Structure 1
Amino acid sequence: MNILIAGGTGFIGQTLVSHLLTQNHTITVIGRSTEKIKKIFSEKVVALSWSTLNLEIIKQQVLIINLAGANIGEKRWTPSQKQEIIASRIHPTSRLAEYCAKLGKQAPDLFNASAIGIYGLQKTEAQLPNAKDEFTPINFNEAPDFLAKVARLWESACQPAIKAGVRVINLRFAVVIAQNGGVFKKLALPFYFGLGGPIGSGQQAFCWVSLIDLVRAIDYLIYHKEVNGPVNIVSPNCLQQKTVAKIIGKTLKRPSFIPTPGFILKLIYGQMAEELLLKGQHIKPTVLVNSGFTFAYPDLLPALLVNTATTFR
């Protein structure tokens, strides 16, 4: 199968590409730097730049997976960084969706990254709030917070393809967990110095998914053509952040009782701390589960202990 992947050099993309190569697919990775693509994957993939992408290349594909977008937690959310976060997602998505729209029913399937932030942040309480899923109504004309705005604009950019009858799946990712990279390294850092513990109140919802299950879910969706539209890529077992801290401490065999005050995080990171660290939402993977998908790592502790690199070797 010919598969075009945008954002294939990122944390998720590299693991996904490596897995799909083991399934004997022909992979084209598109990005700003073909040199970077070749350095990572050598001659195993076709390296393509955005400047050379055209309709003929799109015609040759069976599937497009778009993961392109600036890291949302890398820098403080200044006005310019917010614009970069949005533009780096909307521009590639719009271009791919418009190409697919021109081909209509003959277009490749389009799997486009999104995020569970699309549902908006929920109030932090003593217990987890009521869960939301793909059937929860969303008003795409407004957004209660920045992360919701980003995701709603992102999915709206797919509309030309959807209206043309293309099979579009919006991959609504939760926080991606892996032993060898991603957010776990940042979450684990204070634990190595004996300073680990709950963030803020510790009561905020923390939805996550193992990188292994994320890749498995995408692979599953390739062949389950009956699934269409938004799909939550999230573990069925959402936790409160204080529970996450205990599990990380257990994983690293480090103490996990020293809290990080929310006001300090707000001083350092501003709005980013409020939305990424101090608040959350409770989301369920209803579409995946109802379609028959089974999670290999529905619980956080085993997900932190497994080595992703050896799993997809």
Structure 2
Amino acid sequence: MHRVVTGATGLIGKRLVEHWLNQQHTVTVIGRTQQHIEEVFGQRVQAVTWDRLTPAILQSAEVVVNLAGANIGSKRWNAERKKEILQSRVEATRKIAGLLAGLGAHAPALLNASGVGVYGLQTQLYDGLPPRLDESTRLNCDAPPDFLSQIVCEWEKAAQPAIAAGVRVVFLRFGVVLAKEGGALSKMMQPYLFFLGGPIGTGHQPFSWVAIDDVIRAIDFLLANPVLSGPFNVAAPEGITQRMLSEAIGKALNRPAAVTMPAFLLKLILGEEMAQALLLEGQHAYPRRLLEAGFKFEYPEIDGALKHILQ
């Protein structure tokens, strides 16, 4: 089968493309430059730049998985960077959705990246986790309470033309994706290697996570079930705090998790808004719709997930 992936040179995209190539699917990768795509995948995929993307390329596909977007945590936020983060997601989604809307009944399904940040940051509790947030949780997209919720609200809104035209659209609301080859986990592990690991800030903030293996399995599952559409929290069912995460990383690496990273230092390094949104606050997202549809997480608990990822 022919499948189209945007944002394929990122953490999820690389793993997804390799997975589908191993299954003997034909994969078209859409990106900014053909050279970069070929540096990552060689001649094993069809490389198409955004300016050469046509309805015919999409019409021949079984699915389009749109993962395009600037890395949210790679650079300190300022007005220019925030604009880049937002526009890179919205403009890519708007273009894909517009082309699919033009195909109407002949359009493939669209699985569009999104995030649990849409729910906003939750108040921390000192004796457990805040209430679970699932796909039925009411959103405040008219007045998003923070930058992450603004991103996701506008990101999902950009796909509305495809939905209005009858295209099956699934929003993949990812938690923090844990993988050995990159992403947040590789950065979080560094202090532990020097015996300096431990909780961040209070340690009470909720942390929504998912093993990358389950991300790929969830995408396959949603693709294989054409009756499913709309938002899906792609986050492990086990709710944890940041302190629980730090203890699990220490256990997996056989290192102590006793050195607290103070909030003021993170705010100094990253800026207050970025530090709060990405590290010092969080969401307790729950994958209700995936579970109700019959999806089974292979790594539902953090200890087992980290043992698998870091083995």
TM-score by length of 1: 0.96
**Residue in 1 that maps onto 2:299:** 297
Deviation at 1:165, TM superposition (A): 0.8
1:273 paired residue number: 275
1:171–1:233 contact (8 Å) kept in structure 2: yes
Matches within 5 A, 1:1-313: 1-126=1-126, 127-270=128-271, 271-307=273-309
8 Å CA contact 2:141, 2:149 repeated in 1: no
Q: Distance in 1 between matches of 2:142 and 2:100?
A: 24
CA distance in 1, matches of 2:58, 2:213: 28
Amino acid at match of 1:290: E
Letter of the structure 2 residue corresponding to residue 130 of structure 1? P
Letter in 2 for 1:209: V
**Secondary structure in 2 aligned to 1:28?**
strand
CA distance in 2, matches of 1:269, 1:5: 31
SS at match of 2:280: coil
**Take 2:40 and 2:264, find their aligned partners in 1: how far apart are those partners?**
40
1:306, distance to aligned residue in structure 2 (A): 1.9
CA-atom RMSD in angstroms: 1.2
- CA offsets 1:10-38 (integer angstroms, 9 cap, x no match): 11100000111122211000101111111
Task: Give ranges in structure 1 of 5+ residues lacking alignment.
Answer: none
Secondary structure of the structure 2 residue equivalent to 1:114? strand
1:59-102 deviations in Å (ceiling 9; x for gaps):
21121000000000111110000000001101110000001111
Aligned length: 309
- The answer to whether the 8 A contact 1:178-1:303 is kept is no
- What letter corresponds to residue 207 of structure 2 in structure 1? F
SS in 2 for 1:3: strand
AA paired with 2:215? L
**1:307 CA drift (Å):** 4.5
Q: Distance in 1 between matches of 2:46 and 2:4?
A: 9
Gaps of 5+ in 2: none
CA contact (8 A) 1:179 1:304 kept: no
Measure the CA separation in 2 of the matches of 1:137 and 1:241. Answer: 25
The code of the aligned residue for 1:282 comes to H
Give the % identical residues. 46
The amino acid that maps onto 2:3 is I
